Homo-oligomer: A and B are copies of this chain.
């Protein structure tokens, strides 16, 4: 079955293609006599007319495509955001393209280039680095773009994220309230930049790495004989590394040491002991990012850079107790 085109509809309805176009387009439907319009709409439906998005895009230079760029979709942080964003965009008639950069700059650059060539209307970027030329390029070229999850240093683009600072505060206050006075913070490795050669292997290993890193730091901590009754980890994986090492050394959690993670990854509530952790509102972030982008798409730049939204986080209290009496 060759697809039915606008001309076909027009012919069948006995009108000019231009009129059919106007009738079928919500924006311009008012310009057409309501009887004619009804007839056209009817015929279109009967014939099963579906507009050719390519042709339309070529003419209007709008593709109704939005791309979401994530570093690694297997990281459980992202699927809920992706899903939420897609829901909103899809309802608004947009198609979401997902790209996984595999944590690689070059890949990201190539992907972005291809997407922009394809006429992508806007971007939701979850790959921001503090200093990020790609994002500068996007900002400069005025392609509607919203940042999620991570922000850049320049703050030139709208950003939607979880309020991590408050999350940390909640964690610490919780421990303090329990009576902990010696709390250690383990951030894991900071230098995620890597040489070109080992980068591929590294990218594969990045998630394990952080868990391993947590274990390593915890080990050093134990060796250093520093006094502590609680540990706050930079993320759940690090926390899990810590838990392993503590278990390895026969240190009981949470009776001897309380541990807090970050992110509330799927299933961390099923760990033994369950992990207290900070939950980010991932769906809300996805929704809001999509809405923010839509606003730019439909109504132009929205007070650029002013949109720096931090959504509330939640401390999931599960495996923390007061420190053991001396």
Q: Is the CB of A74 within 8 A of B63?
A: no
Q: Is the CB of B98 within 8 A of A86?
A: yes
Q: In the complex the two chains form, what is the Cα distance from A52 to B266 in whole Å?
A: 41
Q: Within the complex, what minimum Cβ distance (angstroms) separates A318 from chain B? A: 14
- Of the 9-residue stretches A13-21, A107-115, A157-165, which lies at the interface with chain B? A107-115
Q: Is the CB of A76 within 8 A of B76?
A: yes
Q: In the complex the two chains form, what is the Cα distance from A117 to B51 in whole Å?
A: 6
Contact of A289 with B by CB under 8 A: no
Q: Within the complex, what minimum Cβ distance (angstroms) separates A75 from chain B? A: 8
Q: Is the CB of A82 within 8 A of B98?
A: yes
Q: Is the CB of B1 within 8 A of A141?
A: yes
Contact of A41 with B by CB under 8 A: no
Contact of A223 with B by CB under 8 A: no
Q: List chain B residues, Cβ under 8 A from A107.
A: 90
* 0 or 1 for each of A44-61: is its CB under 8 Å from B? (1 = yes): 000000111111011000
* Count of identical protomers in the assembly: 2
Task: Report which of B58, B141, B271 forms a contact with A54, defined as CB distance below 8 A.
Answer: B58
Contact of A301 with B by CB under 8 A: no
Q: List chain B residues, Cβ under 8 A from A114.
A: 53, 93, 95
Task: Report which of B110, B116, B118, B266 forms a contact with A76, defined as CB distance below 8 A.
Answer: B266
Q: Within the complex, what minimum Cβ distance (angstroms) separates A289 from chain B? A: 16
Q: In the complex the two chains form, what is the Cα distance from A102 to B282 in whole Å?
A: 16
The chain B residue sitting closest to A244, CB to CB, is B270
Interface members, chain A 73-94 (any B CB < 8 Å):
73-74, 76, 78-80, 82-83, 86-87, 90, 93
Contact of A240 with B by CB under 8 A: yes
Q: List chain B residues, Cβ under 8 A from A217.
A: none
Contact of A72 with B by CB under 8 A: yes
With A80-B74, A99-B96 already in contact, the answer to whether A118 and B267 are too (CB < 8 A) is no
Q: List chain B residues, Cβ under 8 A from A141.
A: 1
* 0 or 1 for each of A99-129: is its CB under 8 Å from B? (1 = yes): 1101000010011011111110000000000
Q: Is the CB of A63 within 8 A of B73?
A: no
A residues in contact (CB < 8 Å) with B: 1, 50-55, 57-58, 63, 65, 72-74, 76, 78-80, 82-83, 86-87, 90, 93, 95-100, 102, 107, 110-111, 113-119, 141, 240, 265-268, 270-272
What are 28 A-B contacts defined by CB distance under 8 Å?
A: A51-B117, A53-B119, A54-B54, A54-B58, A54-B63, A54-B119, A65-B97, A73-B73, A73-B79, A74-B76, A74-B266, A76-B266, A82-B98, A86-B98, A87-B100, A90-B99, A90-B107, A93-B114, A95-B97, A96-B97, A96-B99, A97-B98, A240-B270, A265-B267, A267-B271, A270-B271, A271-B272, A272-B272
